[in-house]
Every structure is written in C-alpha cells, then in structure tokens.
Structure 1
Amino acid sequence: MTESATQIKFPYRYDIVGSLLRTQALKDAHAKFSAGQIDASQLKTIQRQETRKIVAKQVDLGLKDITDGEFNRSWWHLDFLWGLTGVGHYDYHKSYKFHGSKTRTDNAELVGKIAFNPNHPFFESFEYLKSITPDGVTPKQTIPSPSMLFRDNRSDNWSDYYDSWDAYLDDLAKAYHETILRFYELGCRYIQLDDTTWAFLISKLNETASDPETHAKYIKLAEDAVLVINKLLENLPEDLTVTTHICRGNFKSTYLFSGGYDDVADYLGQLHYDGLFLEYDSDRAGNFDPLDRIWNGDRDKRIVLGLITSKSPELENQDTVITRIKQAAEKVPLENLALSTQCGFASTEEGNKLTEDQQWAKLTLVKSIAEKVWHA
C-alpha cells in the first residue's frame, strides 16, 4: 500500500497521532447541549467552527497531514464502534481504572450481526474535514482497531448471533474493510487504526506466564487480532496508507498499561500496516531492543517513534530526543523512522493536563527535531 522506502509519503517524518485538546468554545457548547440550552444542530455548527480553527492551526504549523482533532466524538473508540451496524451502547457500570483516575462508564456491546453502516456519522465528518483541508495537505482519519470490539466484554454475547467465533471475526473484518473503502471513496488516503490491545497484552502475557491455561487465552487474543487486522487490510487501494497507533491508555494525562514491547513484538511484526506509531516517551515503554522484530525488515514500512509526551507540558530536550532517534536507528534504518508525540492530546473529551499553547509547542518541537534529523 506504499511506495518504496525512499518514496514513502506517510507516515510523514513529523506526524500527528490524532486527537487534540477540545477548545473552550467546544466544551461550553457540549455543556449547553447537555443542559438542553442548544440543540444538536447548534452543537454541530459550533463543532465545525472549532474544527476549522484547529485545522488552520495545524496547517499554519506546517504539518503535512492533519486531523479534525477528533472533535466529532467523546471517546476515541466508542463513538466509532457505536456507529457500526450490530453495535449498541450500554452502561457497563464499571470505569476504566487508569492510574490515579477513572473514566465514565459508557461501553459498547453486540446487538446483532456486525456489518458496514453506509450512514456511519464519521463519513460526514470526514467529508467536512476534507472540504476544509487545503491543497498539499492530507486529511488523516483515525478510527479504533477492530480488536477493541472483542475485548472488555464487548463481544461476550457473540454466540447469540453467530454459530462460530470465526464467523464473527470474518464479519468484523469485512465491516472494517468496507468502512475503509468508503472513506477512500470520499477521498481519504491516510487512515490510522488506534489500538490499546497490544499494551493490554503486554501486561497480561507477562503476568500469566506461569499459568498456561490463562496465558493461552491471551495468545489467542493476539492471534485473532493479527488475523482480523490483516484480513481487513487485504486488497485495499495501492495509494491508501493505513497505519496503527499502539497506545498504553490516555486519560487526563494518566495511563492504563506498562511494559516493553518484547512479548508482542513478533505479533506486531506480522501486521501488514504501512506504519506503526509506538509510544516511547517514558521508561514504561521499555527499550528499543524489540524494534527490529516489530519492523521485521519491511523496507516499505515506517516506524514512528513517540518520543515526545502528550501527557505533560514540559518540553523535551532536542539533543536528548535526537540521541534516542540515533539509538533506534541501530535497530531500524533511519529512513524507515519518523517522529511524533507518544499519543494524542485528548483521547477522550476531557483531555490531558496541559494548555492548548503547550500542545502546539509540543507539535512544533516534533517538527523542529524531525527537520534536523531528516531535513524534512
């Protein structure tokens, strides 16, 4: 799905993960909508006004690809999953237990067979994003990985609708494949699947190593994730770039998972993505030793190093980041590396604990360092 390594267009040398801090105007609009002071149409108008502003800001910054900041959603994953045919919304009565914080209790569940929804609301949102993206800049669409649907109890009732687990996974891959093709028809040429499954598995595979039966369950999850992802990626247009972001959780500057990539590196190396965004902003992510297994010698694949944190406002030292890039280049050729923040700035509408100015300073730093390293 990409050109040769020397001609790879995306991921760009300085790239953006996706979500951006919601502006105060958008936060106020959501509060008014919840209080019944404005209707859905008025909320949408404000959302689009604010989206236009942050697109302009990204363009002014000089980014080669931009996103809508995920201003059209509350959650990075659930809003998309709810838009698929066969997925419903329910109150799980449990929150994601981040270190030092808890989320709201919304969740998704199967309510029928999984299928492509031609009226998924994200299509309209992408059309708007593309309409306000200037020539020479690529609008990037972010959606959650399909693996997010067969985790966290979301597919517990699969047998109510399917004769076999494999049949369910086939439908899930087909629904995603058709969804991505629809984005392509609308002009999308760069799409990213965000995924916390691998960080979840990093913790589970390690802690169950002495329990073969439980360990086998997580091995099966990893194998199923590879199967579904590679199946949905089959026979996509050659000029479409599809990447993934491997996330350890991001809520109000906290996290869910820790651990290096060693236990999942071989699975990540099997994925047929054009690029992988990897978190490497702290010791929680481990060292660069597994990088060559993740890259797996694919000259058409780019590894994006998330060396700049989106969780705190302090700016990293440029020389220190450049040194780390050089260290990573001992495992993966420099031409197959790129740079980004380790995650987005607002995986949920609450956002991380930094200001909008500090957010833009982080992205400016990413660009500045990449220009020095790759002369991008």
Structure 2
Amino acid sequence: MAAASAAPPCCPPFRADHIGSLKRPDALLAKRNEFHEGKCTREELKAVEDQAIKDEVKRQLDVGIKAVTDGEFRRHMFWDGFHNNLQGMEVIQNPGRELFKMYVPDIKAFFESHASRPGDTMICTGKLIRNKPMYRPEFEYTASLVKPEEVKNVKITLAAPEWYHLRHGEHAYNKDIYPSEVEYFADLAKAYREELADLYDAGCRNVQFDDPLLAYFCATSMLEGMKAEGQDPAVVLDQYIKLYNDCVRDVPSDMVIGLHLCRGNFKDGMHFSEGGYEHISKKLFNELNANVYYLEYDTERAGGFEPLADLPKNKTVVLGLVTSKFPQMEKKEDLVKRINEAADIVAKGSNQTREEALKRLCLSAHMCGWASHAEGNPVTRENVIDKLALIVSTAKAVWGDA
C-alpha cells in the first residue's frame, strides 16, 4: 500500500468507533465451556455464536455505531484466528520461561504472578503457508447482518504479525527452515497479503490490526531489557514496521488499514506497561503504512497528546478517551474538551486550524476492547451500550455526525 500524499478517500466515514471486542453474553460463555468439555458439537456452539453476534450487531446499529463488528465472539483471545490457522505453526503446551523473552511486559507480569502463567503458545516449526481462509467466515456472517450499503463499514480485527516473534525472539522460528528473520518475515507477510486479498474479495473494506506490542516500545522497562540482552529496540521496531508494510503493500486504496495500540488489558482491568507515544510517534505515523491509528488515551499511563503533532496530514487518529476497563461513565463535556485539546496539537504540528485538524480525529472506547479475552472486563453489557451511546452522542456534539 503506497503512502498517500493527500487526504485519502479511505479514512473511516464515521467519528464514533470502538476497538472491536465486546462483552460476551453468559449463554455464549456457557456453551463454549460445554464445547471444550465435549458436551456439545461445534455446530451447536456455532448456532449460539451466530445468535449472539446477530443480537450484538443490532445493539451497535441501534445505538448509532457504524463500524460494527462481531465482538470477536468466535474467539477466546483477541489474537486468535491467524497464526493458529497458519500451516507451519505449532502449539507448545505448558512452555517454560526459557522459551520467552522476559523483557516483554505481559510475559514478565504473568511469570511474576502467582495467579497467572502464560498459557499455551506457538512457534514456527515448518514453512509458513496460508492454505485456508482465516477471518473471511467471521466477516461474511457479520456482513450478512447489515444493509448492503453498510458492508463497507463492517470492521474485522486481525492479529498483530509480530505477536509471537517479540514474545519468543530467536526461539520464534526453526532456523533449519528460515536461516534468518528476513526469510521468516517474508513468508509471514505473504500470508497476510493473501488473507487481506481474500477479505477484500469478500467485500471487506475496514480492517484493524490489534497490536499492544508496538506500544510496549514506549515502555522504558522493555527498552532497557532488550538492550541488556544485546537487542537494539530501534532496529527491532524498524523490522516490525517493515513487516507491517510488507503485509499491506498490495492493499487497494479503498481498504482502510487501522492499527490499534494499547498497553495491555487483562482480568480486572490489569495492564502491563506504561509510557507515552513520543518514543515511537515519528516512525509510527510517518513510516508505517496505516491509514488510521487507534490510540489509548483513557488513563495517564499513555502520556499526553503532544506526540500527535507528528501525525501527517493524510492520516487519522481515533482517540481512545472512553475507558473500557471500568463502568464509571465519562462526562461528555470533558470528552469534548479533550478532543479539542488533541485537535489543537494536531493543528499546530500540521500548520492547520483546529477545524481542519478535527477532520482527522475520531472518538472511541479503548484498551483491548471490552473483552480482549473471553471473560471480559469488569463491566456489564449494559455498561458497554451506555458507553457506546456516549461516544455517539459526543461525536455528534463535536462533528455533527457519528
């Protein structure tokens, strides 16, 4: 995907958004447990998934959200769907510390916690080949639930391509298959290009990579840990930016490429890292070929708006000002004030007026959605709807349309 030189026609046509995952209904969680215990068939589980997604899409449309998703109701974790469907990846059960990079904030947190340990993981043990559709079935069902003219707004979320590489480093792939990261990343990017082409063929025009790992490059703890192991964080970040660009290089101009960053979100609103975007903003905004950046801004741990001055005129930022971690409601007037503050910084960096800068901003609830894992955050489904309604109402107050 070539970097655009003017305001791209493929930026989101809506100002109110959400990250993608939604609170799973109890009936769905119960049926999935039955399936894992061998008490129901895959078809019986799918029927419950289908109905839950149908109900949730209606809720999103009723509240005024245009970028509807399936809530990731067919997934246990937000990164499911790509690597676990890719030939050449192997599940490693009960992995030990020696397989992981302990400087990765969530890995460190899991191993230091008495309550949690990293679950099964995956490494590349064979040549990577995409030999079947991955996210297309998820997209097609959701698309069937909206009007034909709204299919272009349906959003599908994708796993971050570097997910297992950052976690495992030199252990991420078999050196007999791939002599270096160059060959490994090349086949990985090829698989993503094939998946994106398949999604486009299905009518998908709005994709979002979910990537808390890039935000880890804002965390001093990880940067220092990488250096202690002889890694240059800047070089690794450059590798990942190139990987992304190779993944999306053939995407047609009318397909929106979004990139969602946060600092982790686990049970009870637990997070894994802190640090502002100033560590990565220049490269993130100017070198990585995405149209839209979904940025966490619901707590102080993400820093201030100042890095938004690095945003090019042809790109959009979705401000994650509404928290998905806790039920407390934000105030509309506070959200409007913060949106204008962000717009002033974007305007100053681009030599624009506030009104011009506002055209490149949107509003969302942030973190890893409302349920980055099946159990979800400490919010009710009613809390989710109330907050989505607040986002729509605030968007209309700022931009006149959601």
Structure 1 length-normalised TM:
0.92
Aligned CA RMSD, in angstroms, stands at 2.3
Q: Report deviation, 1:186.
A: 1.0
Q: Deviations over 1:64-90 (max 9, x none)?
A: 110000011101114432012222222
Matches within 5 A, 1:206-217: 207-208=223-224, 214=229, 216-217=231-232
SS at 1:89 equivalent: strand
Q: 1:179 aligns with which of 195, 214, 217?
A: 195
Which residue number in structure 1 is paired with residue 349 of structure 2? none
2:10–2:256: 8 Å Cα contact kept in structure 1? Answer: no
Which residue number in structure 1 is paired with residue 248 of structure 2? 233
Distance 1:85 1:38 in 2: 27
Distance 2:222 2:76 in 1: 32
Structure 1, unaligned runs of 5 or more: none
Which residue number in structure 1 is paired with residue 121 of structure 2? 107
Matched letter for residue 372 of structure 2: S
Q: Report deviation, 1:113.
A: 1.6
Distance 1:43 1:4 in 2: 46
Q: Does 1:254 align with 2:279?
A: no
Which residue number in structure 2 is paired with residue 73 of structure 1? 75
Q: Report deviation, 1:148.
A: 1.1
SS at 1:167 equivalent: helix
Distance 1:6 1:156 in 2: 36
Q: 1:312 aligns with which of 326, 341, 349?
A: 326
Matched letter for residue 126 of structure 1: F
SS at 1:158 equivalent: coil
Matched letter for residue 166 of structure 1: V
Distance 2:8 2:393 in 1: 21
Matched letter for residue 275 of structure 1: V
Matches within 5 A, 1:195-210: 195-204=211-220, 207-208=223-224
Q: Does 1:283 align with 2:291?
A: no
Which residue number in structure 2 is paired with residue 330 of structure 1? 344
Matched letter for residue 152 of structure 1: R
2:88–2:126: 8 Å Cα contact kept in structure 1? Answer: yes
Which residue number in structure 2 is paired with residue 62 of structure 1? 64
Q: Report deviation, 1:34.
A: 2.3
Q: Report deviation, 1:207.
A: 4.9
Q: Deviations over 1:198-226 (max 9, x none)?
A: 222111477529x8564743222201111
Which residue number in structure 1 is paired with residue 140 of structure 2? 127
Distance 1:76 1:134 in 2: 26
Distance 2:297 2:240 in 1: 22
SS at 1:353 equivalent: coil
Aligned residues: 371
Q: Does 1:116 align with 2:141?
A: no
Structure 2 length-normalised TM:
0.86
Matches within 5 A, 1:126-205: 126-137=139-150, 138-153=153-168, 155-204=171-220
Closer/same/farther in 2, CA of residues 103 and 348 from structure 1, 3 Å limit: farther
SS at 1:193 equivalent: strand
Distance 2:33 2:279 in 1: 43
Closer/same/farther in 2, CA of residues 279 and 103 from structure 1, 3 Å limit: farther
2:227–2:233: 8 Å Cα contact kept in structure 1? Answer: no
1:205–1:218: 8 Å Cα contact kept in structure 2? Answer: no
Which residue number in structure 2 is paired with residue 31 of structure 1? 33
Structure 2, unaligned runs of 5 or more: 97-105, 347-356
SS at 1:303 equivalent: strand
